[in-house]
Structure 1
Amino acid sequence: MTALMEGLEITQDLLWLHFTVFLRVAPIIALFPGFGENSVPTRIKLGLALAMTAIVTPAVAPHLMSSGGMTAPLPGLVLTESGVGLLLGIGIRLFVLALQTAGSIAAQSTSLAQFLGGASTTPIPAMGHILVIGAVALAMILDLHVRLAEMAVLSYRVFPVSEGLSAPDVAQWGIARVAHAFGFAFTLSAPFVIASMVYNLTLGIINRAMPQLMVVFVGAPAITAAGLALLMLLAPTMLKLWVEALHGFLANPLGDG
C-alpha cells in the first residue's frame, strides 16, 4: 500500500510538472513559424505542443522542483506561465510579420502588389508569400525547432515559475520588438524601394524630355521585370538575414533586437 501511494504521488508530481511546462510551451507553438500557421490543424498543434512539453520537462524539472513552482496556486500559475509563453510567441511571430511586411513593401514598390493575387489565408502579395514560405522552410532545415527547445529551457532562468511579469517592462519590450520588426522589414525591402525611386526619377526625366511618349506603357514592363529580377537575386540574402535575426532572438529574447 505504501508503494502504491508513493507511485501515485510520483505520478501526480510528473503530471503537474508536464502541465506547468505545457502552459508555457503551448502559446509558443501556437505562434511559432510553420507550426502555428492557420493551415495547420488544431490537433496537430496540440500534438506538437505535447511533444515539445515532453522534450523540455526533463531539462527543467530540477529547476521547477527547487523553485517552489510545484506549490504555486493554480490560477496564478496559469496566468503567469501562459503570459510568458504568449510573450515569447509574439516575439517570434513578429519576425514572420516583418517578412510579410517586407514583401508587401517590395511588391508595392515594383508594381507587383496584385501579381498572382494572395496565395495564403492572409491577403498578402505573392512576393511576401514566397518569402515567408522560403523562410519557414529554410528555418526548419536549419533546426529552428531545436533552437526553440533551447529557448524554452533557458526561459525558466529569465522568467521563473509563477512570478508575475512587470507591465512597464513588458510594454517597453513590446514597443522595442514592434519597432525592430518594422525597421527590419524596411531594411530587407530597401533595394526594391531604391529601384522604385530610380525608376520614377528616370520616368519623370524621360517624360519631361519627350512629352509625347507614353512613358508609363514603356516603364511598367521594365519595373515589373526589374522587381522579379531583384527578387531572384536578393531572396537568398534576405532569407539568410532573416534566419540570423531569428536565431539571435531565440538566443536572447530580451535583447533590444
Structure 2
Amino acid sequence: MTEAELLAALPGLAFQAVLVFARMGAAVMVLPGLGEQEVPPTIRLAIGLGLVPLVLPGLAPDLPTAPDAAVEAIRLLSLEIVIGLWIGGLARLLVMAMSVAGQIAAAMIGLASVLVPDAGFGAQSTALSRMMGLLAAVLMLSTGLYALPLAALVGSYAVLPVGDPFPAGAAAEAVATAGAESLALALRLAAPFVVGAVVMNLALGLLARLAPAVQVYFVAVPGQILAGLALLGLMMPLLLAVLDSSLRAQFAALPGAN
C-alpha cells in the first residue's frame, strides 16, 4: 500500500476503529472482573482501547465504511454501544449470583444488619454479600474467566453484524434467561446456609420446649453467627468451585460464544 492509498484509507479505518471501540468499550465498562466499580474508569477505558488494535485487523473486512450521512453514523455507533452493554450486562448478571447468595446467607446466619456501601447493587448491602461479590471478581481475574465474555464479544460480530437491527425480543429473552440462571445459581450457593438455619431453628425450638427457663434468644444469636461463619469457612472453597464451573457453562451460552 502506497502512502497515498494509506492516507485515503485512514478515514475509513478510523471509523471502523470507533465502531469496534463502541462495542468493546461499552462491554468492558460493565463486564465482571474488568468492569468492577473498584477499577478506575481510566483503566477500563484503556482496556477498551487496547482491545481495538487486537481485533480490528480480523474484523475490518466485514465492517462498513464511514457513511456519508451523520445520522447513519450515529445509528451505527448507538447500536454498537447497545450490543456491548447487552453482552456485558448478561455476563454481569450471571456473576451477581455470588452477591445474591451472600445476601441470603447473611440473612440466614444473622448478619443482615451489618451493612456496607456496595457500588454493584447501587446502595448498601450486607458485608457478607460485598465480600462474596469481591471474591467473585477475584475468581474472574485469577482464573482467566474474564476471557470468555471477551471471546463472546469478538464472536458476536458473526451473530450480530454491524448495522443489522438490534434483536430486542431475543435480547429481552436472553436477559430473562440469564436472570433466572443467576437466581438459580444463587439459591444453590446459599443452600447450605438455608439448611443450617432451618436445622438450628428447629434445635432452638426444641430447646425452648424442653427448658422454658432458658433465654433462647440470647443464646441463639451469637451461636447462630459463630456457626454460620464456621460453615462459611468450610464451604467457601466448594462454593468458589461451583461458581467457577457454573460460570464457564453459562458464559459458553453468551451470544457469539459458540
Task: Give the TM-score normalised by structure 2.
Answer: 0.88
Aligned to 1:81: 80
- Cα distance in 2, alignment partners of residues 243 and 53 from structure 1: 28
Please give the residue correspondences for 1:52-71 in structure 2 after superposition, counting only pairs within 5 Å.
52-64=51-63, 69-70=64-65
Aligned to 1:253: 254
Letter in 2 for 1:228: L
CA RMSD of aligned residues (A): 2.1
Q: Residue 147 and residue 174 in structure 1: after superposition, are their counterparts in 2 closer, same or farther (change >3 A)?
A: closer
* Residues 54-76 of structure 1 deviation map (CA, whole Å, 9 limit, x = unaligned): 22222322333xxxx33563122
Aligned to 1:165: 166
Kindly indicate whether the alpha-carbon contact (under 8 Å) linking 2:15 and 2:66 is maintained by their aligned counterparts in 1: no
Letter in 1 for 2:116: G
Kindly indicate whether the alpha-carbon contact (under 8 Å) linking 2:33 and 2:140 is maintained by their aligned counterparts in 1: no
Aligned to 2:41: 42
Mean CA deviation greater in 165-174 or 228-237: 165-174
Aligned to 1:141: 142
Mean CA deviation greater in 141-150 or 190-199: 141-150
Aligned to 2:104: 105
- Cα distance in 2, alignment partners of residues 173 and 149 from structure 1: 18
Aligned to 1:118: 116
Aligned to 2:89: 90
Could you tell me how far 1:29 is from its partner in structure 2? 0.6
Letter in 2 for 1:75: I
Could you tell me how far 1:4 is from its partner in structure 2? 4.2
Q: Residue 40 and residue 167 in structure 1: after superposition, are their counterparts in 2 closer, same or farther (change >3 A)?
A: same
Mean CA deviation greater in 241-250 or 18-27: 241-250
Aligned to 1:201: 202
- Cα distance in 1, alignment partners of residues 154 and 166 from structure 2: 18
Q: Residue 218 and residue 239 in structure 1: after superposition, are their counterparts in 2 closer, same or farther (change >3 A)?
A: same
* Residues 24-71 of structure 1 deviation map (CA, whole Å, 9 limit, x = unaligned): 11121110123322232222221111012222222322333xxxx335
Aligned to 1:219: 220
* Residues 122-164 of structure 1 deviation map (CA, whole Å, 9 limit, x = unaligned): 4222212222222211221112343333222111111111111
Kindly indicate whether the alpha-carbon contact (under 8 Å) linking 1:104 and 1:128 is maintained by their aligned counterparts in 2: yes
* Matched position secondary structure for 1:70: coil
- Cα distance in 2, alignment partners of residues 23 and 248 from structure 1: 27
- Cα distance in 2, alignment partners of residues 249 and 180 from structure 1: 8
* Residues 186-238 of structure 1 deviation map (CA, whole Å, 9 limit, x = unaligned): 11101101111111111111112221111112222221111111111111221
Letter in 2 for 1:215: V
Could you tell me how far 1:120 is from its partner in structure 2? 4.3
- Cα distance in 2, alignment partners of residues 5 and 42 from structure 1: 38
- Cα distance in 1, alignment partners of residues 99 and 90 from structure 2: 15
Mean CA deviation greater in 118-127 or 14-23: 118-127
Q: Residue 58 and residue 236 in structure 1: after superposition, are their counterparts in 2 closer, same or farther (change >3 A)?
A: farther
Please give the residue correspondences for 1:165-184 in structure 2 after superposition, counting only pairs within 5 Å.
165-184=166-185
**What count of residue pairs does the alignment treat as equivalent?**
249
Kindly indicate whether the alpha-carbon contact (under 8 Å) linking 2:30 and 2:88 is maintained by their aligned counterparts in 1: yes
Letter in 2 for 1:155: S
- Cα distance in 2, alignment partners of residues 62 and 224 from structure 1: 60
Task: Give the TM-score normalised by structure 1.
Answer: 0.88
Letter in 2 for 1:118: V
Aligned to 1:239: 240
Aligned to 1:132: 133
Kindly indicate whether the alpha-carbon contact (under 8 Å) linking 1:52 and 1:149 is maintained by their aligned counterparts in 2: no
Q: Residue 249 and residue 119 in structure 1: after superposition, are their counterparts in 2 closer, same or farther (change >3 A)?
A: same
Letter in 2 for 1:20: L
Letter in 2 for 1:154: G
Letter in 2 for 1:143: G
Letter in 1 for 2:47: L
Could you tell me how far 1:250 is from its partner in structure 2? 2.8
* Matched position secondary structure for 1:123: strand
